[in-house]
Amino acid sequence: MDIKNGTLKCVLFCALCFSVFFTSCEWVTIEPITPELPPPDVEISFSTDIQPIFTDKCVACHPSTAGLDLSEGNSWTSIQNGRINSTTPAESLIYTKPDPSGSHPVKYSTTEAALVLRWIEEGAKNN
């Protein structure tokens, strides 16, 4: 009888702990980060909006001596060879590789990713 009583107490204690634990949890809704972009009527500039991202995030591993040269003055030409998909901009390698959710070691911030994507959607001009 004592074993059943002890088992019952253990089960009740575990149930009590379980219920206290889960009733004390608080759910917090995390709002998605909305990137700060220029207004839609303002064109994204490669030299003032995109190249600074490459300089800050990419040039350390992609300098002029690398196969993919993202240094200033060379980057636009370097990414034209298969790294921009004008048909489906969101599939462009220059966008997907360092995407915040991607596996690349260096990632764009949400705003940087949105800028790069919009620049590609606008025609990836060398402006």
Q: Are 94 and 79 in contact (CB under 8 A)?
A: yes
Residue with tokens 């990414």: 79
Q: Is residue 1 part of a domain?
A: no
pLDDT single digits (tens) 20-46 = 666 666 667 777 777 888 899 999 999
**Calpha distance 116→55 (Å, rounded):** 13
Q: Is residue 26 part of a domain?
A: no
**Calpha distance 37→13 (Å, rounded):** 54
Q: Is residue 76 part of a domain?
A: yes
Residue 122 pLDDT grade (very low, low, confident, very high; cuts 50, 70, 90): very high
Q: Is residue 15 part of a domain?
A: no
Structure tokens at 52: 């600074």
If one counts the domains in the chain, the total is 1
C-alpha gyration radius of the chain: 26
pLDDT single digits (tens) 42-89 = 999 999 999 999 999 999 999 888 789 999 999 999 999 899 999 999
Q: Which structural domain range is residue 55 located in?
A: 46-121
Structure tokens at 23: 């009733």
pTM, two decimals, is 0.72
**Calpha distance 10→24 (Å, rounded):** 21
Q: Are 100 and 108 in contact (CB under 8 A)?
A: yes
